[in-house]
């Protein structure tokens, strides 16, 4: 599961997003796959604001872009 990390997705008032992350965390434990959740950071959200389920995971940082620009 790819979890897109942004200021909106980690907002504590976004219960739906947190519920989906909780379900993914349960599945991760069932399948015994620590890499089941892949966090992808798309803005300047500080790592300290990541939800507890992904706090210890290595996030892929796309906040400055995801590859070379083609004009």
Give me the residue spans of the domains in the chain.
Answer: 2-61
User: Strand 60-61's sheet: what is its strand order?
Assistant: 2-5, 38-41, 60-61
8 or 65, higher pLDDT: 8
The band of 68, judged by pLDDT with boundaries at 50, 70 and 90, is low
Distance of CA 7 to the CA centre of its chain: 11
Query: How many angstroms separate the first and last alpha carbons of the chain?
Result: 31
69 or 23, higher pLDDT: 23
């Amino acid at each position: 599961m790819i979890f897109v990390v942004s200021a909106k997705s980690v907002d504590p008032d976004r219960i739906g997003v947190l519920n989906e992350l909780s379900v993914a965390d349960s599945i991760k434990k069932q399948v015994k796959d620590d890499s089941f959740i892949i966090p992808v950071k798309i803005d300047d959200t500080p790592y300290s604001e990541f939800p507890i389920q992904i706090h210890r995971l290595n996030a892929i940082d796309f906040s400055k872009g995801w590859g070379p620009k083609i004009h």
